């Protein structure tokens, strides 16, 4: 029989959330191992993940506190302004005096954020590279490619058997393997959710004009789309298509794809060129009914896969990672069993309301904005105009989008675990 390896935490999933959690837990003095079916290096290939992430300013503080700031800063583009436009195509936002128009400016809340922007746009490949470097430097164990075959828990420990027969034990197993979480299933935790019948299409373009650090969000009846500023006058385009059209775009020729982009984005993309491959992601909502079970905790998309409309999925996952690491590190300092129900309950109570409220909110948002029924459109346009005119409301929205509301884990305040 294979030797049994002992850890404080076995983490299933070495993606963005799993790796950030591993670093946070290790900073809190815990011995962790990550398991992932993908070779760790494969995440760094340019074809692996073409998305860019809107990192809220508080989440960026967390990445800084985990030691990634230096690697990320040269690749992080400030988002100083966010313009939201309803029912009009790109280009319309540059025309003045539109009624349904929402504008957020970082300088308005600058006093509270110390001059930080609303957030930073960073390409996922850069975040993955920075995480990989930090994980290696911290000497964190990574078993990849490897996959979890079974998870068995008893009163004292969890035992994880890998497909290659290796056996690992720890007081706690963390599921960070995304929407199809094996650990979640092993724990018997159900999910609620549905598909949107839509795909998110992502492409990076080099712009023919200065983006001025402005993020544009357009709501059209066919679904939202965004033009998000990147370093070097590039932009990440994210928009929704029906699942069928999304699949057709995945395999379309470069010329056909470019022509489609120009039709979709119009004058806004004059002089722009597409850089690198395009990516298509099916969109769905998947919310775990519980965040914890005996000797098991879920974080990231394993706990809540949401629509990317507000660019918050990863921000939510990293907040989970920060909160769980803080609870566990504190429990370990006090000599508690880190897999005990009372300890895991603290994490669940901290994160469950925020996660459920945001997942429901984004779902309602997508439904509210993805239709063209006149009374609904009038109501949302009036709502947007009201938010735009009422300063305190507008500032509250910005604080929320920046992830700086509620009971923040230490990492999101820029402090060590
Ligand atoms: C188009 C689009 C745009 C987005 N934009 C934003 C944005 O601007 N801001 C934002 O905050 N969020 C955004 N998101 C959401 C964000 O990308 C996700 O929330 C995030 O990638 C989830 O990371 P994760 O590590 O939790 O899960 P995943 O990325 O799904 O990673 C899971 C990891 O687990 C591994 N794994 C799978 N099965 C197993 C197994 N059996 N055992 C062990 N490991 C396993 C996988 O190989 C993978 O490495 C966007 C999403 C989309 C689709």
Residuewise pLDDT in 10s, the chain (417 residues): 568 899 999 999 999 999 999 999 999 999 999 999 998 888 888 889 999 999 998 999 999 999 999 999 999 999 999 888 876 665 544 444 444 477 888 777 665 556 788 899 999 999 999 999 999 999 999 999 999 999 999 988 999 999 999 999 999 999 999 999 999 999 999 999 999 888 999 999 999 889 999 998 888 777 788 899 999 999 999 988 889 999 999 889 999 998 888 887 777 777 888 998 999 999 999 999 999 999 999 999 999 999 888 888 999 999 999 999 999 999 999 999 999 999 999 999 999 998 988 888 888 877 777 666 777 777 777 777 766 667 676 667 667 666 777 789 999 999 999
- Distance separating alpha carbons of residues 46 and 126, to the nearest angstrom: 10
From the CB of 409, is ligand 1 less than 6 Å away?
no
- Here the tokens at position 248 are 């057709």
* Residue corresponding to tokens 């005119």: 389
- Quote the pLDDT of residue 111: 56
From the CB of 317, is ligand 1 less than 6 Å away?
yes
* Residue corresponding to tokens 């911290």: 138
- Quote the pLDDT of residue 28: 97
Output the CA–CA distances (angstroms, integers) from residue 4 to 29, 140, 162, in the order listed: 21, 18, 11
- Here the tokens at position 154 are 């008893």
- Quote the pLDDT of residue 93: 44
With b for 16 or more beta-carbon neighbours within 10 A and e for fewer, the 13-26 pattern comes to bbbbbbbbbbbbbb
Q: Give residue-wise pLDDT tens across range 58-108.
A: 999 999 999 999 999 999 999 999 888 876 665 544 444 444 477 888 777
Q: Report the nearest atom of ligand 1 relative to the CA of 51.
A: 3
From the CB of 246, is ligand 1 less than 6 Å away?
no
- Distance separating alpha carbons of residues 303 and 347, to the nearest angstrom: 13
From the CB of 13, is ligand 1 less than 6 Å away?
yes
* Residue corresponding to tokens 């979480």: 181
The Å distance, Cα 313 to ligand 1 centre, comes to 8
CA neighbor of 363 nearest in space, from 178, 169, 224: 224
CA neighbor of 288 nearest in space, from 221, 220, 189: 189
| pTM confidence score | 0.92
8 Å CB contact between 276 and 46: yes
8 Å CB contact between 304 and 288: yes
| Strand-pair category, 77-79 with 119-123 | antiparallel
Q: Report the nearest atom of ligand 1 relative to the CA of 18.
A: 25
Q: Give residue-wise pLDDT tens across range 270-294.
A: 788 899 899 999 999 999 999 999 9
Q: Report the nearest atom of ligand 1 relative to the CA of 17.
A: 25
- Quote the pLDDT of residue 99: 47
CA neighbor of 368 nearest in space, from 353, 354, 356, 381: 381
Sheet holding 172-175, edge to edge: 141-143, 32-35, 9-12, 172-175, 296-298, 292-293
Q: Report the nearest atom of ligand 1 relative to the CA of 302.
A: 26
Q: Is 365 helix (H, G, I), strand (E, B) or coil?
A: helix
Given 3-state DSSP classes, what are the helix, strand and coil percentages for the chain, each rounded to the nearest 5? 40, 30, 30
From the CB of 311, is ligand 1 less than 6 Å away?
yes
Backbone angles phi and psi of 223, in degrees to 5: 125, 165
Q: Report the nearest atom of ligand 1 relative to the CA of 201.
A: 1
The Å distance, Cα 15 to ligand 1 centre, comes to 6
The Å distance, Cα 108 to ligand 1 centre, comes to 32
The Å distance, Cα 179 to ligand 1 centre, comes to 8
The Å distance, Cα 314 to ligand 1 centre, comes to 7
Choose the residue to mutate in 48, 60, 301 for probing ligand 1, maximizing ligand atoms within 8 Å of C-beta.
301
The Å distance, Cα 12 to ligand 1 centre, comes to 13
From the CB of 217, is ligand 1 less than 6 Å away?
no
| Strand-pair category, 172-175 with 296-298 | parallel
Which residues does residue 53 pair with via DSSP β-bridges, in sequence order?
Answer: 122
The Å distance, Cα 393 to ligand 1 centre, comes to 31
CA neighbor of 24 nearest in space, from 124, 126, 138: 138
Strand extents, DSSP E, 112-190: 119-123, 141-143, 148-153, 158-162, 167-170, 172-175
CA neighbor of 42 nearest in space, from 143, 131, 144, 133: 144
- Quote the pLDDT of residue 102: 77
For 200, other C-beta atoms within 10 Å of its C-beta total: 23
CA neighbor of 389 nearest in space, from 82, 103, 92: 103
From the CB of 71, is ligand 1 less than 6 Å away?
no
- Quote the pLDDT of residue 265: 77
From the CB of 16, is ligand 1 less than 6 Å away?
yes
Alpha-carbon Rg of the chain, whole angstroms?
Answer: 22
């Amino acid at each position: 029989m294979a030797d049994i390896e002992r850890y404080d935490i076995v983490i299933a999933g070495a993606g963005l959330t799993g790796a950030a959690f591993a670093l946070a837990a290790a900073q809190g003095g815990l011995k962790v191992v990550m398991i992932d079916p993908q070779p760790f290096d494969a995440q760094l290939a340019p074809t692996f993940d073409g998305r860019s992430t809107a990192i809220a300013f508080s989440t960026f503080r967390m990445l800084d506190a985990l030691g990634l700031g230096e690697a990320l800063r040269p690749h992080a583009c400030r988002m100083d302004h966010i313009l939201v436009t309803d029912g009009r195509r790109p280009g319309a936002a540059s025309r003045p005096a539109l009624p349904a128009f929402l504008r957020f400016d970082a300088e308005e809340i600058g006093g509270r954020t110390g001059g930080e922007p609303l957030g930073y746009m960073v390409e996922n490949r850069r975040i993955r590279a920075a995480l990989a470097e930090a994980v290696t430097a911290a000497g964190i164990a990574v078993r990849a490619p490897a996959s979890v075959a079974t998870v068995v828990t008893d009163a004292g420990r969890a035992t994880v058997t890998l497909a290659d027969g290796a056996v690992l034990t720890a007081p706690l197993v963390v599921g960070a393997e995304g929407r199809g979480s094996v650990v979640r299933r092993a724990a018997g935790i159900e999910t609620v959710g549905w598909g949107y019948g839509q795909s998110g299409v992502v492409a990076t373009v080099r712009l023919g004009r200065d983006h001025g650090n402005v993020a544009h969000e357009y709501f059209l009846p066919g679904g939202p789309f965004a033009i998000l500023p990147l370093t070097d006058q590039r932009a990440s385009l994210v928009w929704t298509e029906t699942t069928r059209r999304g699949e057709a775009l995945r395999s379309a020729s470069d010329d056909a794809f470019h022509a489609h982009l120009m039709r979709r984005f119009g004058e806004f993309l004059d002089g722009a060129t597409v850089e690198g491959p395009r990516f298509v992601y099916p969109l769905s909502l998947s919310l775990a009914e519980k965040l914890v079970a005996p000797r098991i905790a879920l974080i990231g998309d394993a706990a809540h896969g949401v629509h990317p409309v507000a660019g918050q999925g990863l921000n939510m996952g990293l907040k989970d990672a920060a909160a769980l690491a803080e609870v566990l590190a504190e429990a370990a300092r006090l000599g508690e069993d880190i897999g005990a129900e009372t300890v895991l309950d603290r994490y669940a109570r901290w994160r469950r309301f925020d996660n459920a409220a945001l997942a429901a909110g984004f779902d309602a948002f997508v439904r509210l904005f993805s239709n063209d029924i006149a009374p609904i459109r009038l109501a949302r346009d009036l709502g947007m105009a009201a938010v735009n005119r009422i300063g305190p409301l507008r500032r509250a929205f910005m604080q929320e989008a920046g992830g700086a509301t509620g009971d923040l884990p230490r990492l999101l305040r820029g402090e060590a675990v």
